[in-house]
Amino acid sequence: MEACFSERVEALRALMRENAWDILILGAGDPHASEYPAPRWQQVKWVSGFTGEAGDLVITRDHAGLWTDTRFFIQARRQLEGSGIVLHKMRVPDQVPIPQWIASLEMENPVIAVDGLCQRVEAVRELKAAVPSAVIKAVPDILSPLWLDRPAIPSTPIITLGEDLAGESREARIHWLRKWMILHEMDAILLTALDEIAWLLNVRGSDVDYNPVVISYLLVTMDQVYWFVRKDAFLDPDGETQASFEELQSDEITLCDYDEAVMALSTFVGEDVSRIFVDPSTLNVHLRACLDECGYDVVEGPSPVPLRKAVKNSVEIEGMREAHLEDGLVMEQFLYWLESQAGRVNEWEAAAELGRLRASIPGYRGDSFETISAYGPSAALPHYVTPREGSALVESHGLYLVDSGGQFLFGTTDITRTVPMGPCTPLEREDYTLVLRGHIGLARAVFPQGTAGCQIDALAREPLWQAHRNFGHGTGHGVGFFLNVHEGPQDVRQNFNTQPLLPGMILSDEPGIYREGMHGIRHENLLLCRPVGDNEFGSWLGFETLTLCHFDTSCLELSLLTEAERSWLNAYNERVYRTLSPRLPAPVAAWLREKTRAV
């Protein structure tokens, strides 16, 4: 069934006329500012046909535009064809973001409708700042009257993690949060980010692609915990969810219905609960307005949960080490297989084989993001989506890039390897070597306590910069423990994020070089930040590499490496061999022995 997107835009215009809205904005988000919205909230896709992860739609009486960034230009141009929707480019020098674009229309008191559930408080504030005269109408489920076969809110089975896996009980975490509330004189805190809730309650689901979370809100007061979840909606053949609910209830978590969160919140306000803390970066405008209407004294700020969650405890760290051991065994078997398949499989088939291998790991709970399996020019798109039909053949020369990861009961992985499939050009070899130098620059960094990621990002870039090359994405993102593969508050990139890197934080290290129409290279391991000593100059931090999978040395330009870089590489490859080989099939172990010979 081919939807006619231009008709949907027109239907929306009729709705706008009916309500006297001048402008309608539909964002890519869900009510929890999740990275991946469930199908129910893929509003932009339903209206426009555009399937990219990042894209916002603006409809006026005579214009319909999609705002997206460099990663999705080609895809957007193809998918928007015939819809009448115009592409507005972001992350380009002359970008005009939506608020500024609307301001440039110079309308008098424009009435702007947004989806109240899918717009974050912060986004609406930016709009209001750019167009002060705007009247903003936040309408929950704004598309529902038109979107007749709209998918339901997901309600996948819910499991709980015991202290043996999570390293800390939910009681302990709630106790910590209440101490924070006392310190900040809050009667309550409303958590809206799904990974924060999953972490605090030690629950996991699969309501959102790749993120093992449960669609819900969580209200914590000084003596109660209310979890707003779709408690009556679960198809639960195994009784897993029921058991989870019972465990939570025995821990004095009160289960309330997700759809009645607003009504329930209005009953709590009073003497016990007056001052309530919310994080406007993940709270939706509908709920924000309701809190005001209920009469709460609302205090906004960054939630304290992400920082605490980012610093892994010793059980989580052990679990992450185990996840990377299992993942490394799979990756080596995949690379062994792949070498024999040059010229015979396409990108999709390669990704499928890797997925099959990874799914065989006990405790596997899905991939941590959509696998990027890209040969040659495909890899030049850092966020290439491998098509199911007609993906490129992995040929027996040049470079193949695979970026993938898994969710396991005991951890989360994220790894990129760029693999020479046969002879490589001098430029491919040089780029491959420079990116590896960048990777090693961050991996072997030592830095004083208090250092933020942006202060060491250059260590991963300077080898590329020296050759006047660079990459347009961050070097590193935080990684959750059996949670979102992208998490804050720390990162390593060219920004001014002041969050210091702390022992126990896990980060990716993934520099790259991308050449349109030619090749793309990225080398990615996960790193664990840890103390490496104290002396009269201070306290020192460094990284332990968690990922266990060799880097191919056959296409290195050895003359470009410093002695220190070469030592690091040899020691790493040797560690990979020694750790994995006892558990690999004999032919794979023998092959890995050759692959990891010192250079």
Assess 250 for contact with a copy of itself (CB under 8 A): no
User: Among residues 305, 445, 506, 549, which is the contact residue for a copy of itself, using CB under 8 A?
Assistant: 445
Residue selected from 19, 144, 396, 498 as contacting a copy of itself according to rule CB under 8 A: 498
Structure tokens at 401: 């890039």
Give me the residue label for tokens 């306590």.
449
Which of the stretches 60-68, 369-377, 450-458, 520-528 binds a copy of itself when contact is defined by CB under 8 A? 450-458
- How many other CB atoms sit within 10 Å of the CB of residue 346? 19
Q: How far apart are CA 415 and CA 264, in angstroms?
A: 43
> Please, which residue, 145 or 448, has the CB nearer to a copy of itself?
448
Nearer to a copy of itself by Cβ, of 407 and 475: the residue is 475
Our CB check for a copy of itself shows the closer of 460 and 549 to be 460
Looking only at the bridges linking them, the beta strands covering 111-115 and 487-492 are unpaired
CA distance 200 to 198: 6
Residue 100 has a CB neighbour count (10 Å cut-off) of: 13
The reply on whether position 468 binds a copy of itself by CB under 8 A is yes
| Closest by Cα among 486, 483, 484 to 508 | 486
Contact 127, 110 (CB under 8 A): no
Per CB under 8 A, 38 contacts a copy of itself: no
- Point out which residues pair with 394 in neighbouring strands: none
Q: How far is the CB of 450 from a copy of itself (least distance, A)?
A: 8
CA distance 178 to 168: 16
By the rule CB under 8 A, 563 interacts with a copy of itself: yes
- 322 close to 375: Cβ distance less than 8 angstroms: no
Helix (H) or strand (E) holding 212: none
Q: Is 562 in the site for a copy of itself (CB under 8 A)?
A: yes
Write down the least CB distance from residue 470 to a copy of itself, Å: 5
CB of 567 to a copy of itself, least distance (A): 12
**Cα separations in angstroms, 164 against 15, 174, 310, 340, 455:** 53, 18, 19, 41, 36
Give the span between the Cα atoms of 361 and 357, in whole angstroms.
Answer: 7
Shortest distance in whole angstroms from residue 92 CB to a copy of itself: 13
- Binding a copy of itself (rule: CB under 8 A), the pick from 266, 451, 567, 581 is 451
Per CB under 8 A, the segment of 134-142, 235-243, 278-286, 493-501 that binds a copy of itself is 493-501
The pairing of strands 111-115 and 135-139 is parallel
| 469 near a copy of itself, judged by CB under 8 A | yes
Q: How many residues belong to the chain?
A: 599
Least Å distance, CB 541 to a copy of itself, is 10
* Binds a copy of itself by CB under 8 A, chosen from 86, 538, 585, 597: 538
- Determine which residue in the list 95, 540, 567, 589 makes contact with a copy of itself, applying CB under 8 A: 540
Shortest distance, CB of residue 298 to a copy of itself, whole angstroms? Answer: 23
| Residue of the chain from 24, 218, 354, 456 that contacts a copy of itself (CB under 8 A) | 456
Within 10 angstroms of residue 205's Cβ, the number of other Cβ atoms is: 24
Per CB under 8 A, residues contacting a copy of itself are 444-448, 451-452, 454-459, 461-462, 465-466, 468-470, 494, 496, 498, 515, 532-533, 535-538, 540, 562-564
